[in-house]
Amino acid sequence: MLTVKQLLRLDLKRMLTLVGEAAGFSEALTFVEKIPNRSVGKKIPNRSPMDSEPPCLLVLCGISSLEKELAKSWKNNNTLKLSDNAKVSVHLHSDTETPFEGDCLRINSFINSLSTTRFGQLLIWSPLLSSTHDLVSNNFCALPIGAVCVADVQFQGRGRSKNVWESPTGCLLFSFTIQMVDGRVVPLVQYVVSLAMTEAIKDVCDKNGVPILIAAGIGLNVDNEKPTTCLNAVLQKMTSVAYQLQREDILAAFFNKFENLFDIFINEGFRPLEELYYKTWLHSGQRVIIQEKNEDQLAENEVTIQGLTSSGYLLAIGEDGQMCKLHPDGNSFDFFKGLVRRKLA
């Protein structure tokens, strides 16, 4: 029987082997020093867990009595499933005598910072996971509303158009469950999530004396400054405060904000949140090029973004004064390429 610490070490070894092979390194140990320098979002090939690999470590933490009992049931019955029937080793956070070492998520800090009644009340954490989205999707019917899965590292993170991504250390990577009745307003949820994240970062900065406002979204690069930048690198350049943002603090602050904003959204719609959202987004007055077919010929036209439509699409105005809504074609990494225009009456 392996201890939790032994499983964690095996999981890290498994991570280095998988990612190292994908990057073309012959030795996993050589790759250890290169992980912080790799690109967040760099494409890697799909890989399936092999039978000879150690099980994936999942640590469960229920905050309320209901979630605690549910976590115990999952552990005892081994009911959590991963893609491709990968092996899992489930442990309860309450059974761990000492905190995990290294840059692992500090679960106790997350619990102490959380003040919600639903979201984040059940946490599934893994030091290395193929995809948080896959775990939530594969166990969706068994998960309570608001359950969250967090991974320190992903090796098959999923994006648009079935793109697969490597997600190295230093990033806040999570997926969680939401329940809605009216499917027509689902496209607007992304804006509520983004708003909650920006407000969460503001709160964490304010509480720690950091005089800066930062706009960001989920898939948050907190502490991996290469190859581009991260939140902590920006803080160091723009303020003299020594405080470093921590992933678990942001995660708890996010759910504290999201639960309140989500309730407003469900009960009153997006309109009460619209003004606050526009204060944090970057696109008002932005000019974009859209492509339209006219008698089998592709024409490019310039429009200016005005805001959002009631259904969650971008609202824009053309050079002819015609208002229109913009639909992404779903094929481009750049949201502002390949847009399709629909004129509004």
Q: Is there a single domain that holds both residue 155 and residue 56? A: yes
- Parent domain of 221: 190-280
Last residue of a domain, one of 176, 199, 227: 176
Given a cut of 80, whether residue 249 has pLDDT beyond it is yes
Q: Is there a single domain that holds both residue 157 and residue 270? A: no
Give the tens place of pLDDT for each residue, 102-114: 678 899 999 999 9
Residue 184 lies in a domain: no
Give the tens place of pLDDT for each residue, 71-89: 999 999 988 988 777 888 8
Given a cut of 80, whether residue 28 has pLDDT beyond it is no
| Whole-prediction pTM | 0.69
Q: Region 189-200: what's the mean pLDDT?
A: 90
Q: Positive or negative CA dihedral for 191, 193, 196, 202?
A: negative
Long-range own/partner contacts, residues 68-76 (CB < 8 A, 24 or more apart): 68/94, 70/122, 70/144, 71/122, 74/142
The per-residue pLDDT of the chain, averaged, comes to: 75
Last residue of a domain, one of 255, 280, 305: 280
Give the tens place of pLDDT for each residue, 37-64: 333 333 334 444 444 567 889 999 999 8
Domain total for the chain?
3
**Token couple for 229:** 């930048």
Q: Is there a single domain that holds both residue 19 and residue 148? A: yes
Residue 185 lies in a domain: no
**Dist. CA 35–CA 154, nearest whole Å:** 12
Q: Is there a single domain that holds both residue 24 and residue 160? A: yes
Give the tens place of pLDDT for each residue, 134-180: 899 899 989 999 999 999 988 877 665 666 666 778 888 899 999 88
Given a cut of 70, whether residue 35 has pLDDT beyond it is no
3-state SS, residue 102: coil
Q: Is there a single domain that holds both residue 205 and residue 311? A: no
Q: Is there a single domain that holds both residue 23 and residue 168? A: yes
Q: Is there a single domain that holds both residue 16 and residue 150? A: yes
